[in-house]
Amino acid sequence: MTVTDAPPLAPSPAQPPVRKASTRRRLVPYWLLLPGILWLIVFFALPLAYQASTSVQTGSLETGFQVTWHFQTYWEALQEYYPQFVRSLLYAGTATLLCLLLGYPLAYMIAFKAGRWRNFLLVLVIAPFFTSFLIRTLAWKTILADSGPVVDVLNTLHVLDVTSWLGWTDGSRVLATPLAVVCGLTYNFLPFMILPLYTSLERIDGRLHEAAGDLYATPATTFRKVTFPLSMPGVVSGTLLTFIPASGDYINAELLGSTDTKMVGSVIQSQFLRVLDYPTAAALSFILMAIVLAMVTVYIRKSGTEDLV
């Protein structure tokens, strides 16, 4: 997602004497852009405008919807569904944090310790992608099944007592609880964290580590002062690539959760496709978009890597 400016092109040596030709040349980039940008305007920007207008309409399917500038829809939607919003941000945030904690060691290991296993390990990171992610998410139903080995082990170790007390699980069940949903989210978005982390770690010059060692830095200090700051671009793009899709996801919540773990994506989906209350659905998805864009902007400012996007 880097947008560095390319070096300006040297003027071509043979300047055409005719003015017409140079005008034609100046138009070249616009012709190259035209089809793709038109596509994005018609099927990305225009739909957003349509949705904005839908969100301030009132009416019903029978009578039709009219724009009445009914902004209360936003307020009502927020009032009714704020638990789902809070839950979405909470689950997505937790999953992002877990992805960072789990993904960093693996990315670090592949970048610095893997040696000739590097390519093989990278294939293993990307490999799960090749099986449809819905099939893999369904596999978690088997893994976390009520009397399955995972739940048995957690039960024997009394882990589930603690997590139940915290409200993450429900008695001796893991499926249909927040823990299962967060587990699924973390799993699904881990590669999106690992790959950017790996790319930015791999770029770090190994001699910097040696230099830090020569200056009597302990491994921990080297990590804190050299490696981690230099991997910041990877951390930022990894968290964004994890958090943004996770906040709108409803697949994990639907397949691994229960009605108590519904995320805002589920609400938008059912308002749009089942309830057919288009204004509320449009308002909900606009609120989600606004929250995510606002958080992303603040986050990018804070982490000081504005040139990243």
Partner 1 sequence: MRWIRRNLLVIAGLLTLAYMILPNIVVMVFSFNKPQGRFNYAWQQFSLDAWKDPCGVADLCDSLSLSFQIAAWATVGATVLGTLIAFALVRYRFRARGAINSLIFLPMAMPEVVMAASLLTLFLNMGAELGFWTVLIAHIMFCLSFVVVAVKARVMSMDPRLEEAARDLYAGPVQTFVRVTLPIAAPGIAAGALLAFALSFDDFIITNFNSGSTVTFPMFVWGSAQRGTPVQINVIGTAMFVIAVVMVLAGQFLSSRRKNNAQPQ
Site membership for partner 1, residue 206 (CB under 8 A) = no
Please give the full DSSP string across 165-185, using - where no structure is assigned: HHTSSBTTB-TTSHHHHHHHH
Span 223-262, contacts to partner 1 by CB under 8 A = 240, 244-245, 247-251, 255
212-251 burial code (b ≥16 CB/10 A, e <16)? beeeebeeeebbeebbeeebebbbbbbbbbbbbbbbbbbb
- In this structure, the number of other CB atoms found within 10 A of the CB of residue 2 comes to 8
Q: Find the shortest distance in angstroms from Cβ 1 to partner 1.
A: 6
Size of interface with partner 1, in residues (CB under 8 A) = 92
Q: Who contacts 246 (Cβ-Cβ below 8 Å, separation ≥6)?
A: 91, 92, 95, 96, 185, 188, 189
Q: Find the shortest distance in angstroms from Cβ 34 to partner 1.
A: 8
Site membership for partner 1, residue 220 (CB under 8 A) = no
Site membership for partner 1, residue 221 (CB under 8 A) = no
What separation in angstroms does the CA of 161 have from each of 157, 177, 257? 9, 14, 19
Q: Find the shortest distance in angstroms from Cβ 167 to partner 1.
A: 23
Q: Find the shortest distance in angstroms from Cβ 304 to partner 1.
A: 18
Q: Find the shortest distance in angstroms from Cβ 191 to partner 1.
A: 7
Site membership for partner 1, residue 272 (CB under 8 A) = yes
Q: Find the shortest distance in angstroms from Cβ 22 to partner 1.
A: 13
Considering beta carbons, is residue 28 or 215 the nearer one to partner 1? 28
Q: Find the shortest distance in angstroms from Cβ 52 to partner 1.
A: 9
3-state secondary structure 225-279: HHHHHHCHHHHHHHHHHHHHHHHHCCHHHHHHCCHHHCCHHHHHHHHHHHHCCHH
Considering beta carbons, is residue 46 or 157 the nearer one to partner 1? 46
Span 98-117, contacts to partner 1 by CB under 8 A = 102-103, 105-106, 108-110, 113
Considering beta carbons, is residue 174 or 240 the nearer one to partner 1? 240
Q: Tell me which stretch binds partner 1 (CB under 8 A): 78-86, 137-145, 161-169, 207-215.
A: 137-145
Span 66-105, contacts to partner 1 by CB under 8 A = 102-103, 105
Site membership for partner 1, residue 154 (CB under 8 A) = no
Span 31-60, contacts to partner 1 by CB under 8 A = 32-33, 35-37, 39-41, 43-48, 50-51, 54
Residue type, 204: I
- Per CB under 8 A, the list member of 11, 20, 30, 79 interacting with partner 1 is 30
Q: Is 295 left (phi over 0), alpha (psi -120 to 50) or beta?
A: alpha
Give the Cα separation of 188 and 209 in Å (integer): 32
Site membership for partner 1, residue 197 (CB under 8 A) = no
**Under 8 Å between Cβ of 267 and 84:** yes
127 is written with which tokens?
């490999």
